[in-house]
A and B are shown apart, each in its own frame.
Chain A
């Protein structure tokens, strides 16, 4: 891959640009090999180099206008080394033959410093050498689609939304990202990537009697082409979403108490993410995130025996499913993506791991869940594409057995403690279920509980025909903070007698 631009250079007329930047940008392979040579010469135990160029296009509409069109190009190189059993990492957005040796040396020097404060040396789990090329399958490259068509779509969506009386605000957006990446390691792996991801969404905010409430619609974030957008009938969804925003803001407030909950796949994607995904990150369980994201109630001694949920609960990590965000072929350790169990028949059995932490629980191979959000970030353990395995009933059958319950769609407020026990979730829309039927909307619904108690109250999951996938691209973790990407799939699921409170200050 070439990082050269081929354009005529300006004469910037200053020392800075002539000496540091006024040269033809070399090929990525050349830069990566230069870095590896430097690392080998320094005697590192392990080193890897990621050269990356992320192109992002964001189009955002607000209240019937296009407020922002922004195209970003984020390019640079990150060098990670293991020296005397300790890590060092240096990165730069300057891709030049002068800069690479400098940051390679810097990474080694930093690792030496880390080693001076080491108690236990890092040993990496074995991984075969991989030489591969990964390309996201797609029909339409989102970056070749004319902008006019995209802005027209967003304006039309917002126009439809505002036709609903009472709607006072709207937002509509389209997003696409292409990551071109080269990963090489001192072990001999050489993997290049050309990855795409696409998503679109909109929301409507209604005002009634001094209150306001929003209802939203989103496609999943998927690794595919613009066909995700053209295959979604936004204009058919817009009137429904706008009408439901008004129905939501006018709805009666929920009466606090215990309710049976039937949760839709989009809502469950967040519930799973927070209450299963994060506690299954082994670095958290081992204390690496104690100062920020927190630790985990799923400690290694409980693996294989802890009853996380009822027998209906099977949570599977699958970083091999096409189109999902974490299915990138290999992670940023150069480990091949895999599929494994996190919870099987309700019992906690597996973690998300990387090459560093897997040996600490006597696993011979990493699960391949180590990812960085850019060239400038060091890879850390990330939640995999964890999904709830389908059951064998229909949604109607789940609802039919509920006398007094709530049907919840979409994402709302969410919060969970740093060990992932005590959670509290809202939602995007709530319907009362009375004697097996969804009757009418209610508002200000908040449910809370303790994670294992909640998942043990699950007594039914809908079948595969109800399965949907939703992706996350803003999962915060790490210091400095990074955004993780993963997809969570589920069918509808039912939970018994969950504590529900009002989403307003009790008086």
Chain B
């Protein structure tokens, strides 16, 4: 368990190996265009429940996707077998598919050579972390909960990934990316509290701090939760809850749907869609986001503005639609940061303190689109829902189901904090503020 990972596992596909692989695949391909995508990951997860390990895994998976095109006919074959024969067979499969596939009017050759941001995506402390470090962190969280006589469930994970994309257009990009995650649900009788983190560096998971947060939430909810009627409430949405609503909105920014009239944003590009104080930017070089240098298409990620002063400035373009619109470069949104002018503070407590009556929501769960035309969504509150009165949390309340559109909710914002890290089981990692929102619609109540 103390042996460094490099001695336990065959080394990851490095830059030189990917370069060799690229040259040889391209040399043997008969296609007009050939591209490769590498995704070679070594990682693991230690999972605990009822204060003990229930699952403890470590996996090495390398995968290679080869796309071949003859004119506008294209096909893709993938393999996890990097033996020479398997790579050759995969290339032949991609060629065979491409030869018989119909012409695709939207096909574009792979992009050519590009300049990419050089980002610190590979943190050695995470790459070196293995089962021992994950167990150590799990033990830390479980021990804190046991000391409080509480029940814990959660995960600690870490991984290193070699990502590469190359093509016979001269495209060649390679990057190593590390990622560490922690999530914890603390159970105090019928109540639960939750906290989560994700970072390139495993040193930044802040296990102790986040465990205390989850413990505090669970303990606050341990008394019998009060059942309130469904209806419209002032809500204080913690960053995780804001991330859930915002992510549901960002998924719908597809430009092709916009062109076809099947987007909730039809008629809204260049218009104000959310509170005028808010701005959404892509910030790939932010140290607390999971930025990377290039997309799977080989496109460089860039810093870009998506919403400025509440006004929608940008859509998500595939390469074909972007070309139709003459858009270059294509903006990406892998590192979103939502921030606002004149924040009311830096902490959720800054919003609680100034709330006369409202519902504090830790997180939303099982968020799904209900109506794609007006972006109505639904989901449940989870892991800490409380009534706030006169600036203080007074009691836990039973969880609500919301039935609301972020386009409406984000126009009913009264106050918000500075952006904070947010990651949930249903979102990527974002930086978003906590918000106080008026007239938020809860359509029903559950039994706990």
Contact = CB atoms under 8 A, between A and B. Distances in A.
A231 B111 CA distance: 42
Contact of B50 (A5, A67, A116, A287): A287
B154 interface: yes
Contacts of A147: 97, 100-101
Given A93-B80, A378-B57, A444-B371, A117 B49 contact: no
Contacts, number: 325
Contacts of B50: 119, 286-288
B45 A290 contact: no
Interface residues of B, number: 109
B326 interface: no
A72 B63 CA distance: 10
Given A110-B57, A212-B373, A417 B366 contact: yes
B11 interface: yes
Interface stretch (A81-89, A180-188, A398-406): A81-89
B376 interface: yes
Interface string B176-189: 00000001110100
Contact of A5 (B62, B85, B185): B85
A503 interface: yes
B349 interface: no
Interface in A325-358: none
Interface string A109-128: 11111101111100000000
Interface stretch (A20-28, A38-46, A315-323): A20-28
B164 interface: no
Interface string A144-180: 0011100100010000000000001100000000000
A422 B56 contact: no
Contacts of A13: 20
A147 B82 CA distance: 26
Contacts of A419: 446-448
Q: How large is the interface on A (under 10, 10 to 19, 20 to 34, 35 or more residues)?
A: 35 or more
A92 B60 contact: yes
A22 B24 CA distance: 15
B413 to A, nearest CB: 16
Interface stretch (B120-128, B134-142, B199-207, B427-435): B134-142
B49 A16 contact: no
Interface string B372-403: 11101011101000000000000000010101
B368 interface: yes
B439 to A, nearest CB: 10
A504 B372 CA distance: 9
A298 to B, nearest CB: 13
Interface string B1-17: 10000001111011011
B77 interface: yes
Interface stretch (A29-37, A94-102, A362-370, A488-496): A94-102
Nearest to A20: B10
A21 B447 CA distance: 56
B28 to A, nearest CB: 7
A168 B262 contact: yes
Contact of B84 (A17, A113, A380): A17
Contacts of A414: 368
A210 to B, nearest CB: 7
B115 interface: no
A409 to B, nearest CB: 18
Interface string B189-225: 0001010000000000000000000000000000000
Interface stretch (B87-95, B288-296, B354-362): B87-95
Nearest to B54: A288
A465 interface: no
Contact of A16 (B14, B81, B151, B194): B14
Contact of B101 (A69, A117, A118): A69
A129 interface: no
Interface of B: 1, 8-11, 13-14, 16-17, 20-21, 24, 28, 44-63, 74-90, 93, 97, 100-102, 104-106, 131-132, 135, 138-139, 142, 151, 153-155, 157, 183-185, 187, 192, 194, 257, 260-262, 266, 365-374, 376, 378-380, 382, 399, 401, 403-405, 408, 425, 441, 443-448
Interface pairs A-B: 7 shortest CB-CB: A7-B85, A422-B446, A9-B84, A5-B85, A290-B153, A114-B53, A93-B80
